[in-house]
A = this chain, B = another copy of it.
Amino acid sequence: MEEESGSLPSKSDFSAWYNDVLWRAEIMDVRYPVKGLYVWYPFGFGLRRQTYAILRDLLDNSDHEETLFPLLIPKTEFMKEAEHIKGFEDEVYWVTHGGLSELDIPLALRPTSETSIYPMFALWVRSHADLPLKVYQIVNTFRYETKHTRPLIRLREITSFKEAHTAHATWDDAAAQVEIALSLYTRFYDDLCIPITISRRPDWDKFPGADYTMAVDALMPDGRTLQVGTVHHLGDHFSKTFEITYEDAEGQQQYVHQTCYGISERCIAATIGVHGDDKGLVLPPKVAPVQVVVIPIIMKKRADEVLAAAEVLKAELQDSGLRVKIDTRDMRPGAKYYHWEMHGVPLRVEVGPRDLDAGTVVAVTRDGEKTTVQRDEVVTAVPEILGAYAARLRTNAEEFLTSHITEAGSVEEAAEAVKTGIAVVHWCGDEACAEELEKATNGSVLGTEVRSEHITISEGPCAVCGRQGTSTVIARTY
């Protein structure tokens, strides 16, 4: 639907590259006439479908059940949990009118669904036999963002919020579920070939109404981190507010302990940001809406023969379970390559007259690895090529991450490191010292209890006050 004119900015100018690649690769159209609301192009929606199918499978296969709760939350319910309101009151959209009349009770557009779901949990949970209860939904949620909005990253309508909500008999059971959620998210981002850093957010940065918040961060090309998932231990804050109790084995009423965890379309922003290059998107095979494009190389002679062979090849690859397109448009091959590279298609398979004679095809991955494959081995060779390609994406992303992590021994070193990436620094845990660190680095203290294959955690003197501390990570954030 878009004409491809001009050229993509270099990825080194990440902000310009990102904005441009979104329309050139037909992910999002930003021209919708309300700030912070965007339109998914069909190709972008295809990427969303594949990405969320992985998330659904992970949840379905770990005893979560998909449900759907209403978008509109009556003000009376929304206002019940004090910390929660405080966290959201500046950013909730309110419906005040139905037709031409004013509503008796204003309705909030869910910014997140605790206050929509938990009144029902109070009805659903009766006895310990009902626990654990694990549900999820994939929904649109809303935030009245006053900051600069950005497609897939900072939105007024988060179109694709996957939120899971669980209830357990004990605090420890809920804590164990936090670990399960983190391991699911780790597997999810591994499928996206994105290395992540997990940490426990400082108390002042936890979810409003949580005991603690674990967060998942990805490193974007400009050295800023993007929070791409959160897992909250809610303790019994909400169960006390919404009276979610169960009868234990001794016949006593007990409050449940809860968790919730979410991932939004930021996971797609991370996929785009982490892997893309100066030619456009670079998509991991598991989420690419088109995994293989077959390009017939049409010369004057033998055009029909080549075209027929390309169609057979396409059908064979498709039957093997791959998502395949054939590009038979009347264009130069170079223009086709450009188009499919922009869209991040992992593998291009070319078939020309010479290939017919040789009984081969030429396979070129999005990162430029060229292989001549025997025609009768294509169906087994392609998945291997795609697997090796995915491994390279993962390695490249890990190399980028490790080369942008700096162990900083002082506030000054941390400030220098945060200019281009993540600083690892010792911190005593004190809020005043964190403020000092944040001011000096222009970054945020992401948290403690850091889990990353690429970061070694240690004890040492706080970079600010010198008292004993442990490693924390600091970065500029989205």
Contact = CB atoms under 8 A, between A and B. Distances in A.
Contacts of A1: 124, 130, 133
Interface stretch (A95-103, A209-217, A304-312, A344-352): A95-103
Given A89-B99, A96-B94, A97-B93, A39 B68 contact: yes
A399 B75 CA distance: 49
Interface in A58-77: 65-72, 74, 76-77
A159 to B, nearest CB: 6
A343 to B, nearest CB: 14
B97 A31 contact: no
A38 B123 contact: no
Interface string A12-41: 000000000000000001011110011111
Interface string A122-152: 0110100010010100001010101000000
Nearest to A94: B97
A98 B135 CA distance: 29
A90 interface: yes
Nearest to A159: B68
Given A1-B130, A69-B39, A89 B94 contact: no
B72 A37 contact: yes
B120 A29 contact: yes
Contact of A98 (B71, B76, B93, B98): B93
A67 B42 contact: yes
Given A72-B157, A99-B89, A99-B144, A39 B67 contact: yes
B70 A45 contact: no
B77 A33 contact: yes
A49 interface: yes
A119 interface: yes
| Interface SS of chain A | mixed
A423 interface: no
A107 interface: yes
Contact of A72 (B34, B48, B66, B91): B34
Contact of A70 (B48, B91, B124, B157): B157
Contacts of A272: none
Nearest to A146: B99
A283 interface: no
A289 to B, nearest CB: 10
A2 to B, nearest CB: 8
Nearest to A98: B144
Contact of A123 (B29, B71, B91, B119): B29
Nearest to A156: B72
A393 B138 CA distance: 33
A405 interface: no
B107 A34 contact: yes
A270 interface: no
A417 interface: no
A109 B107 CA distance: 12
A151 to B, nearest CB: 12
A287 to B, nearest CB: 15
A66 B42 contact: yes
A45 B124 CA distance: 16
A92 interface: yes
Nearest to A145: B98
B135 A33 contact: no
Contact of A95 (B69, B70, B94): B94
Contact of A34 (B38, B70, B93): B70
A123 to B, nearest CB: 6
A461 to B, nearest CB: 42
A32 B120 contact: yes
Given A34-B72, A95-B95, 17 more contacts: A32-B69, A32-B119, A32-B120, A33-B76, A34-B70, A39-B120, A40-B67, A41-B67, A42-B67, A71-B157, A91-B98, A91-B99, A92-B98, A93-B107, A96-B96, A97-B106, A99-B144
27 contacts: A29-B124, A32-B69, A32-B120, A33-B77, A33-B119, A34-B74, A34-B107, A37-B70, A37-B72, A39-B68, A39-B69, A40-B67, A40-B68, A48-B68, A70-B157, A71-B140, A72-B93, A90-B100, A92-B98, A92-B99, A94-B96, A95-B96, A95-B109, A96-B96, A99-B144, A99-B146, A140-B140
Interchain residue pairs A-B with the least CB separation, the first 6: A98-B144, A42-B65, A37-B70, A40-B68, A94-B97, A90-B99
